[in-house]
Each structure stands twice: as structure tokens, then as C-alpha cells.
Structure 1
Amino acid sequence: MKKYCFLFLGLSVLLMSCSDDDGIENGPTPDPDPTADVAAQNFMWQAMNLWYFWQGDVPDLADDRFASNAEYTAFLESYPDPRNFYFSICNDHERIVGEDAAIDRFSFENEDYNVLVNSLSGISQSNGVEFGLGIIGESNDVFGFVQYIWPDSDASTKDISRGEFFTRVDGVQLTVSNYISLLYGENSSYTLGMATVENGVISDSSKEVSLTKIENQIENPILVAETLDVNGTKVAYLMYNRFLSSFDEDLNAAFAKFKADGATELVLDVRYNSGGSVNTSRLLASMIYGTNTSDVYVKQRWNDKVQAQLEEEFLTDYFANTTGESAINTLNLNRVFVLATNDSASASELVMNGLDPYMEVIHIGEVTSGKNEFSITLVDDPGNSFVYSSNRENRINPNNSWGLQPLVGRNENADGFSDYTSGLAPDIALSEDLTDLGILGDANEPLLARALQEISGGSAKIDFTVEMPAESFTSSRLHTPMKDNMYLDKPLKFNK
């Protein structure tokens, strides 16, 4: 008899509907001493022992790790801080002891699972400025550079724009040790001290910009969608900044407009897109390539414990002919130009890899992030195999609000390729230039101009020399609850 558990991303929540104790089967697991204060650690171990992609490679997650419940309890108690405990059982000790050999770079957690759930729909507190952070020379001082501004945000009403620089927050110089507290602390408002750059030298200016973070802001991931005329060729340009399923219909509408405009080429700009929904990536790929539902888009690989219990039908994603609400508007292209950088991760890379067996993917930019695994949201609800369900809020342990977003599987394309943990290398290498970031969507913006040059076959001499590469050690998107997460949002189907 088959058993179905549905994992579905709605407007703002992940929903997994199963009857009690009707999820994926796991073998006997240890029980801690009920008098021990280890509710969070116990949940984390039980959930990771079942779902974690590298469960078989982490000795402390082995099914036979503990000879007795007492030994198990002592292990849980050895990490009083649940956060440290979580990372101790990840396949990554870098975040705890500083080792430089992390395999799992992307699993994360939050002490309030509601923050995770909201973030998967793009809901967050934001002032609307997206930026990268770099190091000034050989010092520990940090500078920021504005990449873009959210429309309808607080920043959109202020005198700040793409290409500007800042060095201070509330009069304090940003450094590697204080930037997190100054930019991402509890303060909902702050004032940026702006700066200028000349001959590679960053200098403070007198300009200041006061910004306020607004609760429950939702970013429309479609920043620019327009059709350019390049010597008679209609070129669609899409600046797409997050894979959010709540905007799938908007995305499909943008492709309807591209089709109506007669677009025969596409430049997909995901230079700042750090990921999101796997299903939305499938829909976008279908809008680009085609709607043959017998063509494999990607296949999933879970840990051995989970893989054996999942239906083949569930493990394989095919190209789509519908969003679920409307027919896919596809351009049926045989090539696509993708602008991608070090900030491009997870679902952005998945689109590139998933399309590669079927069409020419011309990657312009930099080596991408290298995030090829997906995650699910786990909470302390053992009756639902620890998978979050909005209609089971009353079943979640009220004494443990922790939520986990661990990597639980890897996607491979139709050719079986998934090994891009070092990132996807560009066909045409070109970094953004901090002295000339340009206007997104403008034909003269350097990365777009380089793609248009390839499309037009133009031989005109265009200088793409980069004077000051946009090298950042982190970005504003990586300090949101969603980070660079790639998550599943489709029915889980088990062979039971």
C-alpha cells in the first residue's frame, strides 16, 4: 500500500499533511532521561538522524552510536547550547572549531521556527537596500556597495541608489568584528555614512542616509522584465532575484509579455539570486526551454535511509506545462545567456544545470556559489516525521521552538551531473566593476552589454576592463533567515 505525505509551499508556509505517526519510517532511536533539560538537542538528533543528507557519514548520527539511553543523555547534555549542538552533528566542524574542510556549508537553524517559515515566502524585516560588503585594503575596515533597491521599500523613498558606497553606521566605522551588530542587530533604524571611490581609494563623504526596516516586507523577485531591440533582434531581459513560489504567476506573466514582444533571445540575470523554491526553478526552466513533460529536469538523491522509501515518481522532476494555475508561457529557446556571479546560488545554479542537457547555456560572469543541495524545514513534531506542517501547530512541542533547515538531498540533471560544489565556471569571465556598476536593464550595463555583444555578433570595440572588481565576503541576502536556501515544495510520496 502506498502512503502519501504532502510537502507543499503555499503563500507563506510549508505544509506537510500526514496522519499521526504516518510519515517516513525510522528504526528504533534512543530516548533521553525525561528529567534532563535536552528537549532541543533531542529533537535535533532525532530529526537529523532521519533526514540529514550526510547521516551515514557523521559518526555521532549513526543508528548504533549509543549503547544506552544514559549514554545518549550524557551526549546531549555535553552541548548546553542547542545551536552548538546542531552544528556539532552537521558534516561541518568549521563553524565550531575553525577547521577549513567543511562539506556542509549551508545547513542552518533558528531558535524560532516561525522565522524560518516566513522567510521561505520572502517575508522579512527590511529597509530595502541590498548590498555587498568588502574589505578596505589590508585593514579590518569594511565598506558596503549598493547592488539594488527594493521598489516600494523605505530605501526607495530615500536618496540612495545602486553603485553608491558606505563605510559607517550611526557614525561608527564598519569593521569585520562589528558589521553584524551594526547592520543586522536589533536596531530597526540606522544611518549610513556614505563614501566615494576615486582611483581605487575609498573616502568618507558627508552624505548620510537614514533608513528604517519595515516588518513583513515582501520582495518582488522580478526586478526588471523588459524586451530590448538589438539590431532588429528582440532580446528578453529578466533580472530575477529570488525563487519565490508566491510570484510564479507574475513570472509566467512576464514570459507572456516576452512572447507577445516577439523575443527570440533571453538574458537571465541571476547575479544576486541566492536561491529558493525548487519547483519555481522548474517552472522558470520550462518557460525558457519548453513544456515537454516527459523531459527530465532534475532527479533527487536523499540519504540511503530516506531514498529507499520514496517513490521514483517523486524523485524525478520533469519540465512543466502548467504553473498549477495557468499554462506555461514558454519561449522554446535553444540557448540562453545567464548572468551569474559568486552570489548566484542553489536554485539559480539548479536552473543552469537542469537546462544544460537540452540547450546551450552561456554563462557570463563569475564562478557561482556551488550550492547543489536542497533542504526542508524540520520542527519538534515527531508524529509528522519532524517535517513542519501549518495544520499541526498544536502538535509541535510547546517547550521547544527550534526549527532546522538542514540539507537533506542533492539534485542532479538529466545527464546525472550534480558535482558543482566548487561552483559553475563561466564561459565568459567578467566581474562587476565597482567604478561602473551601471543601471540594471540598461543596454550599457557591462554584464548585459557583454551578453548583447554575443547575441548581435558585434565586432565593435567595447572596453570591458574591470578597474575595481566587486569582491565581497558577504552580502545582505546571506544575513536574512532564508539565506541561500533551496527548498522542496512538492508532494512527498513514500513506498509503504
Structure 2
Amino acid sequence: MKKYFIIPVLLLTLTFTSCFDDMDDVEQVATTAQINDFIYRGLNFFYLYKADTGELANDAFTSTQAKNQFISSFDSPESFFSFLKSDQDRFSLLFDDYIALENALGGISLNNGMDFGLVLYPDASGNVFGYVRLVLPNTSASDAGLERGVIFNTVDGTQLNADNFNDLLTPDTYTIGLATYDGTTLTPSSESVTLIKTQYTEDPVYITKTLDVGGTKVGYIMYNSFTASFDETLNGAFGQLQAEGVTELVLDLRYNGGGSVRTATDLSGMITGQFTGQVFYTEQWNDDRQAAYANNGLFTNVTRNDSPLNSLNLSRVHVLTTRRTASASELVINGLAPYIDVVQVGTNTTGKFQASTILYDAPAPGFSRSEANPAHTYAMLPLIFKTANAAGNTDYVDGLLPDIELEIDYSNLGQLGNVNEPLLAAALNNILPGPITPRRSATLEKELDVNNGLEIMVVEGF
């Protein structure tokens, strides 16, 4: 069964990834021209934006020799891939190590457990401070006692800035210098914490709880990645909410950059349940592939393992979002919008509505792992189709805009899952005005686009 992926922001100007290591023990003997030929064949066949690059047209070259000369004229696969990409493509990716890529897509990465953001100092110095968004259990960060809201501004004694943060935060072991921040001034402290990355598989269902707010039972789920191997865990979480009789739901996707499209479809069925068989999303491929490959994604009532969905049959859901909310998360918001009231709380999302698939150096149309050229370990994740909801909404390049806008107060993030945490409080206040007063704040700092690992959205069944 072929798997397709929708990838969130990984190639913005300031991006940090930590889960890919070169395979030093694998000898790559393929020539650059051979790898470039694979890239060309894959993009010529599947690329969503094929029409934007003249050299990818089926009649671009008068002879095979002319095409081969073009392919051989680039000195690296990376430069060739970059040349062929459309200017409107922010997300297609090329990797020189598909084994590490496969591990990352399976939720396995080197991780110290500190999920963080980076913010430019408000003094225009170019310096950067980090803040801890959340801490994963059973990791170096949790062992060290780090908590959400901790501020740091140095790594191994060096001040973080917009130019060096990627290099400083990449090593498997580093020491962060802690600081305090009052909303205006950052003050370094004498404390430091050493963090060590180890191989880690994250359970994306971070928090599940039922809140009693003014007599209304409100379910709260913080869900951080649409990871297929945890589908039954997610369904179990909804079973818990169902058993506890929730009548409202707050779905926290503020740090969820994507995952399985099938899981996104199932999650939407868990929230609802009354739309089985109706269109959740449609697909738009390039002109060569549309007729043969495009399918509608439909609401379902079972998981991929055929377990019945634990559905809440809601007509409204509140979704917490930030700029890190991407891809499969956006698919849930956009896909549900024609059917129920989706109240988005926070900031606008990433703007990722396209899907990708892993292509290996193998014959078309499969480009399969089983037939991959053993002479190298390159693979790519090109955009292959874009999604639209049942009402036709797509191309939200600036993200999905919130109904209730609330910026981040880095000096007082609040405790996740607590009714007084700002984003959750704003959602609860909209559900039942009065009991919870959301704290609104204006943020002058500029947060960098930083990603702590690879996050993906997988579409299956084609």
C-alpha cells in the first residue's frame, strides 16, 4: 500500500531539525548524474507544480541526449532539486539518507525531550532566547526537571542569535544557560541544564482530561502529532471522553505539525461521527496524474485497524492553534469546517495544504523502497497533490485565521491543561462565558520558525 505525506514547515528561512544523521557507514557509489536522473524522473511523474518548471515538461527536450546533458550539468543532487522546484513550493524535501528519514516518519528520533521555541530579543540586537513549550516524559529534559515556561539564552556558554542557533542546538549533548523574562527584560541566571539526546518514540496524545466548567463537561486533548502507530491510543482517549459524558471539546493542536492523513480523517470522525461516507477532503494532482490518482477522502467510522471509532457526535469543536499548527492539523480544521462549527483560538496556522510521498530511486510509477537503487540512499518528498475541503476551500498560503486571536505571552505561558492557561481559558470562556477570564496580551517579540524534528502527514489507500 502506497503512503503519501503532507509535510509541515521544514524549509523556512530559519528552520531547525535534529533527527537526521548522515549514514557514515553506507558507501554511496552512485554518480551525481545517476541521482539527478532519479530526481528528474520522480518530479516529472508526480510533482504537483510540474507545470511551473519548463524543464519538467514532457516535451522539454528534443532528444534523450539533450535531457541527459541537462541532468549532468548540475554538480550536486541538492542544487538540481532546488533548480527544479517551483517558486511557490515551500515544502518539498530531498534527503541523502532514507533510513534516517524512515525512522523519523515512524516517530523515532534523537530527542532530549525539550520542545522549545526561539524568540528574537525585542531590542533589535539579533540575539535570541528560547522558551520551553513542553517536556516529554522519560527524557533527559524531564529527568533534569525542566518545565514549560523555562527561559534560556545561551548554549554551552554562547549567546544564542539568529545566525548560530541551528549549529548550537544540533549536537547530541549541550548545556543551556537559564534566564528569566518579565515581558520586557531578559535577565541571565547562574543556573544551567545539560541535555542529552537519545533515541525516543513520542506518544502524541500528551494530555487527555475532562474539565467541569460551570456544570458543563468539556473534553480537553493535547495532541502533538498524527502518528499512525498511536491511532488506537487516540481512539482510546476519545473513548475516555465519551465515557465521561463530555458535550464540548477543546482540541489543542498548537504544536502539532502534521502526521497521518488517515489519522486526521479518523480524528475528525471521533469528534463528529454523524458524517460517515461524506467527503472530508478532495485531491488536486498535476494534469498528468489527476484522472488516474485523485480520490476523495471520506469520513469513516473505524480506525485503520477496523476498531470502531469512539465518536462524540459534536456539532462544535474549539481548536487551539499557533504558527506551528500545520498540515494534518490544518486538514482537520479545514475538513470539518463545512460540517460543524470550528472555533479556532490562538494565531494563524502554517498554511500547508499539500501532500507528499516518499520517492526512492526505483522505476515509475512505484518509486518503491523494495526496488530502490542500492548504490545510494537518496530519497525525496515532493509535493504531489493539494487538498480542499467539501466546500472547495484550499490554497490558504497564509494559514487558517483564528476566530479568537490570542498572542503568546512568553513571560507567563501557563500550565497546559489548566483552565487558566491563556488559550484554553479563551476557548472555555467562549463555550461558557463567565467562569474563566482569558488573559489577553500583545507580543512585540518575533518568534523564529524553528522545528525540533520531522513531523509529517501520511495519506494511505491509493
TM-score (norm 2): 0.91
1:51-450 residue pairs with structure 2 within 5 A? 51-92=46-87, 103-136=88-121, 137-184=123-170, 187-215=171-199, 217-310=200-293, 315-325=295-305, 326-382=307-363, 385-386=366-367, 388-389=368-369, 392=370, 395-450=371-426
Q: Which runs of 5+ in 1 are unaligned?
A: 1-5, 10-34, 93-102
Contact between 2:282 and 2:297, CA under 8 Å: does it hold in 1? Answer: yes
- 1:41 matched to which residue of 2? 36
Distance in 2 separating the partners of 1:179 and 1:8: 33
Contact between 2:3 and 2:358, CA under 8 Å: does it hold in 1? Answer: no
Distance in 2 separating the partners of 1:316 and 1:455: 33
Greater mean alpha carbon deviation, residues 231-240 or residues 201-210: 201-210
Distance in 1 separating the partners of 2:444 and 2:235: 34
Distance in 2 separating the partners of 1:50 and 1:139: 47
Distance in 1 separating the partners of 2:60 and 2:100: 32
Distance in 2 separating the partners of 1:36 and 1:401: 12
1:286 aligned counterpart, secondary structure = helix
Distance in 2 separating the partners of 1:463 and 1:295: 36
The 1:398–1:238 alpha-carbon spacing in structure 2 relative to 1, beyond 3 Å, is same
Distance in 1 separating the partners of 2:352 and 2:145: 35
Amino acid at match of 1:473: L
**Number of corresponding residues:** 436
Distance in 2 separating the partners of 1:118 and 1:430: 35
The 1:469–1:285 alpha-carbon spacing in structure 2 relative to 1, beyond 3 Å, is farther
1:434-487, Cα deviation, whole Å (9 max, x unpaired): 121000000010110111111112277x3623154674212233xx2x24x333
Amino acid at match of 1:380: D
Q: Once the 2 structures are TM-superposed, how far is the Cα of residue 384 of structure 1 from its aligned partner?
A: 5.2
Amino acid at match of 2:296: T
1:305 aligned counterpart, secondary structure = coil
Amino acid at match of 2:347: E
Distance in 1 separating the partners of 2:347 and 2:417: 19
Distance in 2 separating the partners of 1:237 and 1:383: 45
RMSD, aligned α-carbons: 1.8
The 1:37–1:247 alpha-carbon spacing in structure 2 relative to 1, beyond 3 Å, is closer
Contact between 2:48 and 2:385, CA under 8 Å: does it hold in 1? Answer: yes
Distance in 2 separating the partners of 1:363 and 1:199: 25
Distance in 1 separating the partners of 2:445 and 2:218: 26
Contact between 2:118 and 2:130, CA under 8 Å: does it hold in 1? Answer: yes
Contact between 2:422 and 2:438, CA under 8 Å: does it hold in 1? Answer: no
Distance in 2 separating the partners of 1:36 and 1:170: 39
Amino acid at match of 2:259: G
Distance in 1 separating the partners of 2:267 and 2:438: 32
Q: Which has the higher contact order (CA 8 A, sep 6+)?
A: 2
1:309 aligned counterpart, secondary structure = helix
Distance in 1 separating the partners of 2:387 and 2:215: 39
Distance in 2 separating the partners of 1:228 and 1:36: 59
1:249 aligned counterpart, secondary structure = helix
The 1:36–1:353 alpha-carbon spacing in structure 2 relative to 1, beyond 3 Å, is closer
Distance in 1 separating the partners of 2:46 and 2:332: 25
Q: Percent identity?
A: 40
Q: Once the 2 structures are TM-superposed, how far is the Cα of residue 73 of structure 1 from its aligned partner?
A: 2.5
Contact between 2:423 and 2:438, CA under 8 Å: does it hold in 1? Answer: no
- 1:12 matched to which residue of 2? none
Contact between 1:59 and 1:65, CA under 8 Å: does it hold in 2? Answer: yes
Distance in 2 separating the partners of 1:407 and 1:37: 23
